[in-house]
Amino acid sequence: MLYGVQTPRRRDAQRNRSAIVEAATELMLGRHTTVLMPEIARRAGVGQATLYRHFPDRQALTAAVVAHELARLEAFVAARADRPAAFRDVLAELLRTQIAMRPLVLHVRRLDRQTRDRYQQRMITTLTAPLRSAQQAGLVRPDLTPADLALLCTMVEGVVEAADPDAATRSIDLMLDGVCVTAPQA
């Protein structure tokens, strides 16, 4: 940076980093359990050296993709902040993304416990206000706690491990019906 002006190279570096995270995110939306670094670099339109300059290992890239997905969740929640009934949609989106991004879930398991706990806490923090709002509106069972949201993710993960994605999707519908209160039919 010269005299407080950002150089084009720095903008290029930011663009490359974003392209890498976007490519990794796209590739992790699939049924494959392995996403190769060379494929991420190719999809991002950068060389492997550029990829490794930004993300020295798979764990660093996994952390960046998780942060990207959490930011996406935060934006999804913020866009619905004034609608307590949207909590069901928010929770469904989170759980369906967990199923769709199977490679990411597998990579997250390899992160250290402290990092995983930090991401889980960020997710819980993001969902706490919408949960409370939906509870106050009588749309979610009153005994559901913010910590239970992590339990719901664990339950979906168990179904994915034991069955197929269709069964996991069905488990989300059943879970949401147990968590969310529906108005009585007239």
Q: Where are the domains of the chain?
A: 1-56, 58-186
pTM attached to this predicted model: 0.82
Tally of CB atoms within 10 A around 88: 19
Q: Identify the pLDDT of residue 106.
A: 84
CATH number of 1-56: 1.10.10
CB 119 within 8 A of CB 70: yes
Tally of CB atoms within 10 A around 98: 19
Q: Identify the pLDDT of residue 138.
A: 95
Averaged pLDDT in 10-residue chunks for the chain of 186 residues: 54 92 88 81 95 93 93 95 94 91 86 92 96 96 95 90 81 93 56
